[in-house]
Amino acid sequence: MREVIIAKSAGFCFGVKRAVDTVYEQVNNKDDKTKVFTFGPIIHNEEVVNDLASKGVDILEDEDSLDRLSQNKENDVTYKIVIRSHGVGKVVYDKIKEAGFELIDATCPFVKKIHNIVDEESKDGKTVIITGDENHPEVQGIIGWCNNEPIIIDSINKAAECAEKLQGELVLVSQTTFNNRKFKDLVEFFEKKDYNIRVYSTICNATEVRQKDADKLASEVDAMIVIGGKHSSNTQKLYEISKKQCKNTYYIQTLVDLDLTVIESAKRVGITAGASTPNNIIKEVHDSMSELSFEELLKQSEENENKIRTGSVVEGKIIGVKPDEIIVDIQYKSDGIITRNEYSNTPNLDLTTVAKVGDPITVKVIKTNDGEGQVLLSYKRVAAEKAYEKLEESFNNEEVIKGKVTEVREGGLSVTVDECKVFIPASLVSDTFEKNLDKYMDQEIEFVLTEFNPKKRRVIGNRKKIVSAAKAEASKKLFDSIKVGDVVEGVVKNVTPFGAFVDLGGADGLLHISEMSWGRIDDPKSVVKVGETVKAFIKEINGDKIALSLKFDDTNPWLNASEKYAIGNVVTGKIARMTAFGAFVELEQGVDALLHVSQISTEHVEKPEDVFKIGQEITAKIVDFKEADKKISLSIKALNNDSAKDEDADEAVADEAENTEE
């Protein structure tokens, strides 16, 4: 029994089918006063072209034919000119419009995209490089949209020959049916030469997939049949690809060209067909070799197609990955496309970093035809639906959820959880209101759901509840483990004029300004800063309030004060502040002494400011010391009197010595 396998992507591609259907639609709807023409053969298939000719469709081979038709047109006849799927140059469009003919554009959308690229890029003076056959009508049409002279290449050798012309800014496009491997080799050639070039990957996805299908099928069969018009570029490439994998590869246009004797010994036969090959020709070839009729295969295909409808969820396999799209085999006449936006909500995600060829994938059908013959799929919508189920379960069970903040909005945070969006209002972000939420951007946070309405896509999160619960637990743990006198470490959270609040990891402790130093502090910011780690001891615990102190006993300057500041000692200090009755002198941090105004000088002093300035260093004698009250009194006058007595004593001794000598 012989097995005959038809390549999944054999036959009409979207662009060709669209063009052929367009012409047949015009033929079926025309009246006796309407004539339908195609500019060039609508596709490269004689069977189709001959059938259209039998229905009255004429071909305008070139611009001269168009000019002659314009000169000989009949006034009471409507002329409709259908642009072939390969496309034409801009001048043809202009001539059709100038002649007053009705223009019907059946150019393949993929080809039209290339026209737009070269038109825009060449306007800026860039040199356009086209990879392809310069005699192919598609390439001729692309040339017709260039605003300067393009360079046509089909091999690395040809590219090397054109090296001198490749200067300035370059743009590279490709004929849609060009061999994908050759194109990649040429791109690599230009990249190694370090040209200033922008590459547009314009090989038709259907062409690329068709070539991959043919390559794979040819490697698995004993004989390979390639069906297509003799002038079809894409069919010729299918033949070349298949021939490399299977020596018994045969190129035919119709069943008439097939010698069945060459496949008599083949147990497995593969069939592929060019983009311009109608189903009826594939059917004839298939039925001549297979016990399973084409109708049965078609029925199987239709049954599969019924599974591919908008909204359906299907299993597929990744067969191609680009930075901005993923190609998926969904066992359908066309492959599916997942765009970057339909894969993830992550901006500018490079899909090659998250997906690879061969991976299975579950997707949702968004459109069975995106306008270019491809099935538009979504991965993130399937992921989102699964995520919504998980979110609903978490909502019902009041479970804690983790998500990444992907947007900071005016009213709160937008958090992504497995492609689902959860909104956390600003009032529910923390247990204290935070005006600026930017610090949460790109952070993974925990929260619970307080509202869940998937129909309205309204899912509200609450982080405040998590933060409050965590703080309560940490607070309990802290208070259970501390007591008065314990030395603790914390981070300065806030500094006020009266002190600083220190986060102890469960509660805040107040470090009052009076407890920051043994000395006098005017501004707490001169001692501590926000974010700084400080070590303090617990002075008092009153309910949930904790009082801290930096005044450790071993640093108390009054410990040895009775010796250092005994009455009669002479000391040096700085004027710290002044009052009407005297000046306070800082002897060391935490130890101030009073210099009464009456003790400043033997002469009358009205007020301390008349003699001193803040910060001025002075030397005085301790005349009083009261340790219990921590009071020390100074006197410069007493010090001066002592000096005067010493001088008088010195003079008396000198006089006595002088008299003795006499």
Structure-token pair, residue 586 = 């800082």
Domain boundary among 444, 467, 490: 467
Same domain as 546, residue 593: no
Task: Please tell me whether residues 132 and 175 are part of one structural domain.
Answer: yes
497 and 459, same structural domain? no
Domain end (from 520, 555, 590):
555
Q: Do both 544 and 569 map to the same domain?
A: no
**Six-digit token string for 39:** 């500019």
CATH of the domain at 325: 2.40.50.140
Structure tokens belonging to residue 480: 């259970």
What DSSP line would sit under 163-232, residue for residue?
Answer: GGG--SSEEEEE-TTS-HHHHHHHHHHHHHTT--EEE---S-HHHHHHHHHHHHHHTT-SEEEEE--TT-
- For residue 275, CA distances in Å to 139, 227, 365, 568, 584 come to 17, 10, 24, 115, 102
Contact (Cβ atoms closer than 8 angstroms) between residue 336 and residue 327: yes
Whether residue 22 lies inside any domain: the answer is no
Active site residue 609: no
* 320 and 350 housed in the same domain: yes
C-alpha distance across the termini of the chain, in Å: 157
Concatenate the DSSP letters of all residues of 609-649 into one string. GGT--TT-EEEEEEEEEETTTTEEEEEHHHHHHHHHHHHHH
Same domain, 575 and 594: yes
Residue 293 pLDDT? 45
Residue 548 lies in a domain: yes
User: Taking a C-beta distance cutoff of 8 angstroms, is the pair 446, 401 a contact?
Assistant: yes
Q: Give domain status of residue 10, yes or no.
A: no
Ranges of the chain with pLDDT below 70: 1, 290-307, 333, 369-373, 454, 643-662
Q: Are residues 499 and 418 in the same domain?
A: no
Given the residues 46, 63, 134, 138, select the one marked as catalytic. 138
β-pairing, 617-626 vs 631-635, is antiparallel
In a domain, 500, yes or no: yes
Residue 572 placed within a domain: yes
What's 173's domain CATH number?
A: 3.40.1010.20
In a domain, 487, yes or no: yes
Alpha-carbon distance of 437 to 394, in angstroms, equals 25
Q: Is 33 helix (H, G, I), strand (E, B) or coil?
A: coil
- 538 and 572 share one domain: no
What would the pLDDT profile of 399-454 be if each residue is shown by its tens digit?
A: 898 999 998 988 899 998 877 889 999 999 998 888 889 999 999 999 999 888 86
pTM comes to 0.46
Residue 628 has what pLDDT? 85
Instruction: Show the domain range for 424.
Output: 401-467
How many domains is the chain built from?
Answer: 5
Q: Could you tell me if residue 251 is inside a domain?
A: no
In this structure, the answer to whether residues 540 and 575 fall within a common structural domain is: no
Query: Could you say which of 501, 536, 555 is where a domain stops?
Result: 555
Is the domain of 565 the same as that of 637? yes
Answer yes or no: is 367 within a domain. yes
Tell how strand 58-60 and strand 34-39 pair up: parallel
